[in-house]
C-alpha cells in the first residue's frame, strides 16, 4: 500500500515556509519534506530560483536548528541539485493543474521516496566526497535520465 505523505497543499506549504523562515522543527525535516519543499518552490514560488536559492535556504535552516554545514554533514550541493532536477522532471510530466501535494506524492511514488535513489547514478565514494558536497559532480555510474 502506498504511504500518503501529505494530504493538502497547506501541509506542503507549511514545510517549505518553515524551512524558509527557519521555524520548521528539525524532526519534520525528513526526506519526504525535502522533496515537498523543492516541489513547493518549483510550483508555487516564482520569486525563488531553487537551483540558486535552495543552497542558502538549506544552509541557514541547518544552522538555525543547531546543525552545521561542513565537509562531512549538512548541506550537500550534488544531492540538492540532482534532487531539484528530478523534481522538475517529475513535475513537468504531470498535468499543469496538479495540486502540489499530489505532485509530491507522485514524485515519492515514482522513486524519490528513497533517500538512496542517487546511488543508482553515483558510487557512494563519489557522491559522499567532499568535492560532491561542496559543488556539482557529474554521476560516475550512469547519466541522470532527466
pLDDT at residue 4 in the model: 86
So what's the pLDDT on residue 1?
54
Which stretch of DSSP H or E encloses residue 33? Answer: helix 31-44
In tens, the pLDDT along 99-119 reads 999 999 999 999 999 999 999
Q: Is residue 68 part of a domain?
A: yes
**The three grid cell numbers given for residue 61, joined into one nine-digit string:** 535552516
Residue 4 falls within a domain, yes or no?
A: no
Retrieve residue 78's grid coordinates: 550534488
Residue span of the structural domain in which 64 resides: 9-134
What are 57-85's pLDDT values in tens digits?
A: 999 999 999 999 999 999 999 999 999 99
Distance CA 35, CA 33 (A): 5
- Please say if the pLDDT value at position 2 is more than 90: no
- The pLDDT of residue 3: 82
The answer to whether residue 135 scores a pLDDT higher than 70 is yes
Number of domains in the chain: 1
Q: In 3D, which of 53, 128, 71 has the Cα closest to residue 37?
A: 53
Question: Which three three-digit cell numbers place residue 17?
Answer: 515556509
Q: The C-alpha cell of 87 is what?
A: 523534481
Establish if 140 belongs to a structural domain.
no
Amino acid at each position: 500500500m502506498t504511504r500518503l505523505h501529505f494530504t493538502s497543499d497547506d501541509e506542503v506549504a507549511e514545510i517549505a515556509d518553515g524551512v524558509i523562515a527557519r521555524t520548521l522543527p528539525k524532526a519534520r525535516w525528513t526526506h519526504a519534506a525535502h522533496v515537498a519543499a523543492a516541489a513547493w518552490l518549483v510550483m508555487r514560488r516564482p520569486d525563488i530560483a531553487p537551483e540558486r536559492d535552495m543552497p542558502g535556504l538549506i544552509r541557514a535552516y541547518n544552522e538555525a536548528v543547531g546543525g552545521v554545514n561542513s565537509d562531512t554533514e549538512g548541506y550537500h550541493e550534488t544531492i540538492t541539485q540532482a534532487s531539484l532536477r528530478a523534481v522538475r522532471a517529475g513535475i513537468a510530466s504531470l498535468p499543469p493543474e496538479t495540486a502540489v501535494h499530489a505532485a509530491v506524492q507522485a514524485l515519492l511514488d515514482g522513486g524519490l521516496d528513497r533517500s538512496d535513489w542517487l546511488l543508482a547514478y553515483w558510487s557512494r565514494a563519489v557522491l559522499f566526497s567532499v568535492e560532491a558536497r561542496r559543488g556539482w559532480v557529474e554521476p560516475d555510474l550512469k547519466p541522470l535520465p532527466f
